[in-house]
Amino acid sequence: MKHLFAIAALLCLMSCQGQTTKQKATKNDEPKEKQAAEATLKVNKTDAEWRAQLTPEQYDVLRNKGTERPYTGEYDKFFEDGVYVCAACGNPLFKSDTKFDSHCGWPSFDQAIEGSVIYEEDNSYGMNRTEVMCANCGGHLGHVFDDGPKETTGDRYCTNSVSIKFIPAKKQPE
């Protein structure tokens, strides 16, 4: 009987140890799917390289999956002809003709340039969302929702201004 109790106690201890390990997991302990996606990224930099290249706010959003405050971003109410690229690597992400005013406080697009972004399930903060990241460097851009314009795609790519840069369309000579 003592042996049975000792074995049960040992199994219980091992089970608790496994739970403790999971709770201590950090952002660096990514799921295998994400690790595989990162392995295929064209731009891979160290944390120190990203910190040196990006502003503190860009680093927080692009590398730490932060979010800028609503209605504060440079591109929220900005509508000019051109293309929006990743602020970290320059990858073209959105064409200006897909941008619309969603009144949500962040730049919104109804579609991304094909192959320019990757998606990942995001269950943080008790929500079920789809995260959108740059397919070139893995930088966090924002989230995509299904409450966009029904007359186009029905999607709303809710994007942080600090994660993108606007490149104006080249003016044609007259």
Q: In the annotation, is 158 catalytic?
A: yes
pLDDT value of residue 173: 53
- Does residue 99 belong to any structural domain of this protein? yes
| pTM over the 0.85 mark | no
- Does residue 68 belong to any structural domain of this protein? yes
- Does residue 27 belong to any structural domain of this protein? no
More confident residue, 174 or 151: 151
Q: Which of 89, 134, 137, 158 is catalytic?
A: 158
CA dihedral sign of residues 59, 61, 62, 65: positive
- Does residue 86 belong to any structural domain of this protein? yes
DSSP class per residue in the chain: -HHHHHHHHHHHHHHHHHHHHHHT--TTS--HHHHHHHHT-S----HHHHHHHS-HHHHHHHHH---PPTT-STTTT---SEEEEETTT--EEEEGGGEE--SSSS-EES-PPTTSEEEEEE-GGG--EEEEEETTT--EEEEEES-S-TTTTS-EEEE-GGGEEEEEPPPPP-
Evaluate if residue 117 carries a pLDDT over 50. Answer: yes
pLDDT tens digit string along 124-163? 999 999 999 999 999 999 999 999 999 999 999 999 999 9
Rounded Cα distance, 54 and 63, in Å? 10
pLDDT tens digit string along 43-77? 999 999 999 999 999 999 999 999 999 999 999 99
The torsion angles phi and psi of 133, rounded to 5 degrees, stand at -130, 155
Whole-number average pLDDT of the chain: 82
CA dihedral sign of residues 143, 144, 149, 153: positive
- Does residue 122 belong to any structural domain of this protein? yes
Rounded Cα distance, 30 and 38, in Å? 10
Domain with 100 in it: 32-168
- Does residue 21 belong to any structural domain of this protein? no
Rounded Cα distance, 95 and 82, in Å? 6
Q: Which two tokens stand for residue 28?
A: 């660096």
pLDDT value of residue 40: 80
Q: What is the count of structural domains for the chain?
A: 1
- Does residue 37 belong to any structural domain of this protein? yes
What CATH number did the domain enclosing 80 receive? Answer: 2.170.150.20
Q: Give the SS3 label for residue 20.
A: helix
- Does residue 117 belong to any structural domain of this protein? yes
